[in-house]
Chains A and B, each alone.
Chain A
Amino acid sequence: MSSSTVSVSVATPTQHSFQRKVDEIKVSKSDINFVIMDYLVSEGYPRAAENFAKEANIQLPLEEESIQTRVEIRGAIHAGDIDTAINKINDLNPQILDTDPALHFALLRVQLIELIRNCTSSATGDITPVLNFASSQLAPRAATNPEFLKDLELAMTLLIFLPSEKLEPELEELIKPSLRREVASKVSEAILTSMGTRGEARMRQLIRLRLWAEAKAREAEKELPPTLPLGLQTADDAITSHANGNGEDIMVQ
């Protein structure tokens, strides 16, 4: 049997042996579709999920009653409307914030940052609401946890520096949209966990596995090509930190 079936594909001489191993791996479409669907549902893309269920002929996961609410909550957090978000979360399940003080604090801090941003954006801005909010909502919580306190203090320094073109990187982070995005996805995760499903989309751990495995393999001095590009133009430079125009890159649409 072996004699008749061994057919080693003729590789181009320049191809790294690892690349050949990569090519030999068969990926099942249904696995990929599963990961995609899992992502669309748990990260809250209901219309895409619906369409994908139709087009790929797979089932929408059943547990998805909360998807619409999650989308709304995410939208509210992204827009900085934390009051609405907190109300919606509590409507869904008051336990979520009660049992996760760190998450609750993170939300309130986003709210504080939004207040600071508002009052510093105009010369006539009144900082009283900021101070009131900080002392009534955040300070009592910060007293219980040194981490919270540090975070609160940092946020309050924004009052001094805003508006400004040049902020310390630490402060810059606070007014970037990515903070709201991060908090929103933590909230989403907490909601999903509270419903008994796995909180995080599998895709995220998959991406980390890919990066971790490459780092580990390089650390163990396995034979790898100098870079392992994915071929995703936008993220390519990011994922392979030292990518510099490797010719092996695959084409992307």
Chain B
Amino acid sequence: MALLSKKDTNLILDPLADNNPITIQVLGICSALAITAELKASLVMAVSVIFVMGVGNVVISLMRNIIPSKIRIIAQLIVVATLVIVVDQVLKAYQYELSKTLSVFVGLIITNCIIMGRFEAFALGNGVWRSFLDGIGNALGYGVILIIIGFFRELLGSGTLFGIQVLGDPIAKTGLYAIGYENNGFMIIPPAALIVVGIIIWVQRSRNPALVEEN
């Protein structure tokens, strides 16, 4: 890649696997899990966070030398809140139904720990371009997990993907349902998201024993 040096590529690729914000850094779980019952909502949430993180990291990085360190938390919160208001208004204008489903969780992007965490840990000490890549990388890592959870929960819970019936019609008994398959209603309820994340962590750490915690 001519555009990105190797170091810059790592900024994007690391958070996707070995330094994933959700499964390794344990950040940003708060506003994410409740909306992963449907793949579409997960995707929109992921895109929103990518936008907020990318732009937010750039803004904070530009202002890093003029923000007094004592009030930096408030300054960061104001930047995020402004970006989230933009996202919220866009969603309300173009995807009204979806913005109803997401309800307060769009607002909760403000307190998404990944965003504050990356502002503190990276954007305050690095240049604009690298901060942008770091923001995009971490938001992608977050989005990937969100989409994996959303995929399994919607597929196993409702037998649909993006609202399209991929396993056949449960009422007319076509497709898989013809041989006695049933939807697992358990996947729809909120606690299932936690268990799915637990399993993702299990799989990831079995594949890479270096990540295993002491206890």
Say whether A associates with B. Answer: no
